[in-house]
Amino acid sequence: MKKSSIIKNLIFSIIIIVLFFSLPEIIVRLKYYRETKDETFLFWGQTDIELILSKYLRKGDVEKKFNGDSDEKYEIAVFGGSTAYSWFVPREFAWSQILQQLLNKKLERKVIVFNCGEGGSSSTKDVTRMRSFLTKHSPDMIIFYVGVNDRTNILAAKVNNRYYLEDEVGFTFIQRLDAKLMKLSLFYTAIKEKYNKIVMHDIHRAYQRKKKDIRLIKIEEAGLKRYEKNLVEALEICKKLNIKLVLGTVPLVEKDNYYEKLLEMMRKIAIEFNLSIIDVAKEFDNMEDEEKKLLFVPDVIHLNKNGTSKVAKIIYSYLIKNERL
């Protein structure tokens, strides 16, 4: 076979392979854009691909936001995971950014809402990051928007047939690869969402059958106790520094029993310690299922730009009615 023929066949094979993987991706992007009219789906992976390393990208932003005289400003810092950061939407559609715009239109003094969310961060990591952050900065309010990663890590962190608390085990290569693929491919994310539903269904079915797994029961109990400890610790930190702490519940399309327990614990702590709580999850639960699903990207955890706008408006309404800004 001639060299030119080999090259042509090779190029043709590459084109076929590219089309094989590209066509499903294009079809899925068009499908979700048609359903939601959200161009984020068309350009999936083009906005903030580097958010896996977001803690490095935000260092300069921290200094820029908080330098200078703060007397004329009201500063709010948002802590949480990727749902606080607003993954999968352009920065201008992060709910913290929309909230800042709404507050600045309403109030006479300048309001800065700083986004301290970090993908994968649990309540344990949030408290640690908060302590570090507050050694250099003094916001007037902290919104603690946590819970999803505590729930996910408890259910997912099964290694070598043993359940672990998430801070006992670092992210594996497969987990990092999975996160990058979700950032790059909407097709992969959509498939994973369907698979996760099957997995979660199996977990729920095991609970319903009262299948005994002492390790899982113990890890759940430990996780709930640690979650409570972290919320109380965050409150104590803020009290010492005279910072207003506001709790926020994170909405999901489908909640499991464990996440329901986390939400109830947060609501109980809010009552016990007379804390402000913005029950975003409850507001979302009042919606019809089909209406609610249109606010999420296919992984049914993260919000699209319509969803982040909804969260911002819920939090804005609560702050204007109930807090002195």
Domain assignment present for 190:
yes
CA distance 21 to 151: 33
Query: H or E element: which one contains 245?
Result: strand 244-248
Domain assignment present for 42:
no
Amino acid sitting at position 39: E
User: Do 130 and 180 belong together in one domain?
Assistant: yes
Given a cut of 50, whether residue 168 has pLDDT beyond it is no
Please, which pLDDT band fits residue 113 given cuts at 50, 70 and 90?
very high
User: Do 65 and 145 belong together in one domain?
Assistant: yes
| Residue 70: per-residue pLDDT | 46
Task: Convert 214-234 to b/e letters by CB count within 10 Å (16 or more is b).
Answer: eebeebbeebbebbbebbebb
Query: H or E element: which one contains 72?
Result: none
Higher pLDDT, 188 or 44: 188
Structure tokens at 302: 């993260």
Domain assignment present for 43:
no
User: Do 105 and 205 belong together in one domain?
Assistant: yes
Structure tokens at 214: 């002492």
User: Do 125 and 215 belong together in one domain?
Assistant: yes
User: Do 171 and 242 belong together in one domain?
Assistant: yes
Highest mean pLDDT: which range of 86-100, 141-155, 173-187, 250-264:
86-100
| Residue 72: per-residue pLDDT | 72
Q: Give all strands of the β-sheet with 73-80 in edge-to-edge order.
A: 110-115, 73-80, 141-145, 244-248, 276-278
Higher pLDDT, 145 or 202: 145
User: Do 31 and 149 belong together in one domain?
Assistant: no
Q: How many domains does the chain have?
A: 2
Amino acid sitting at position 244: K
Lowest model confidence (mean pLDDT) among 54-58, 142-146, 202-206, 216-220: 54-58
- Of 276, 278, 283, 273, residue with least CA distance to 249: 278
| Residue 167: per-residue pLDDT | 47
| Residue 37: per-residue pLDDT | 65
Mean pLDDT (the chain) is: 76
**Percentage of the chain surpassing pLDDT 90?**
33
User: Do 15 and 123 belong together in one domain?
Assistant: no
Given a cut of 50, whether residue 199 has pLDDT beyond it is no
Q: What ranges in the chain are assigned the alpha helix state H?
A: 3-36, 54-57, 59-66, 82-85, 95-106, 123-134, 148-156, 173-184, 186-208, 214-240, 257-272, 280-285, 289-293, 305-322
| Residue 69: per-residue pLDDT | 46
Strand partners, 115: 78
User: Do 91 and 59 belong together in one domain?
Assistant: yes
Domain assignment present for 125:
yes
| Residue 16: per-residue pLDDT | 77
Domain assignment present for 98:
yes
User: Do 139 and 250 belong together in one domain?
Assistant: yes
CA distance 44 to 278: 30
| Residue 18: per-residue pLDDT | 75
User: Do 25 and 97 belong together in one domain?
Assistant: no
Please, which pLDDT band fits residue 302 given cuts at 50, 70 and 90?
confident
Q: Which domain holds residue 12?
A: 1-37
Highest mean pLDDT: which range of 64-68, 82-86, 134-138, 244-248:
244-248
Higher pLDDT, 194 or 137: 137
User: Do 120 and 11 belong together in one domain?
Assistant: no
pTM metric for this prediction: 0.71
Question: What's the Cα-to-Cα distance from 253 to each of 41, 168, 288, 299, 316, rounded to whole Å?
Answer: 18, 28, 11, 9, 22
3-state SS class at 119: coil
CA dihedral (119, 124, 127, 128) positive or negative:
negative
In terms of C-beta distances under 8 Å and separation of at least 24 residues, what long-range contacts does 27-32 make, across chains too?
28/186, 28/187, 28/190, 29/186, 32/186, 32/190, 32/297, 32/298
Q: Residue 170 sits in a domain of what CATH number?
A: 3.40.50.1110
Lowest model confidence (mean pLDDT) among 62-71, 105-114, 143-152, 229-238: 62-71
